[in-house]
Amino acid sequence: MISRDTIKALSLKSLTRAESYDFYIEVNSEFNDSAGIEEAISWWQDNPEKLNRLWWVLNYYSEKLDPERTLRAIVEKTLDFIHKSLPK
């Protein structure tokens, strides 16, 4: 799970499955496998909103995209890193 402190600091919003569907279609059509999604995470490391959207997609569609929770853990770590990099 994304830590509460990170959610608060980055003003991340919860998304419903319906709100995540269009991004799921985009991710599913753009990336062939988990390695492609993992690479995209590195491209989006300065975009917490997009990473948050990806996290919700991976959560709702885990059986197809992230059954082992590996990608979600990477997104969570990236969001925590962004949070810790914010000026105090």
pLDDT at 88: 80
Q: How far apart are CA 85 and CA 88, in angstroms?
A: 9
pLDDT band at residue 57 under the 50/70/90 scheme: very high
pLDDT at 32: 87
Q: pTM of the full predicted structure? A: 0.94
**Mean pLDDT calculated for residue range 72-79:** 98
**Residue 41: CB partners within 8 Å, gap ≥ 6?**
51, 54, 71, 74, 75, 78
Dist CA 23 CA 55 (whole Å): 11
Tens digit of each residue's pLDDT (9 = 90 or more) over 6-53: 999 999 999 999 999 999 999 999 998 999 999 999 999 999 999 999
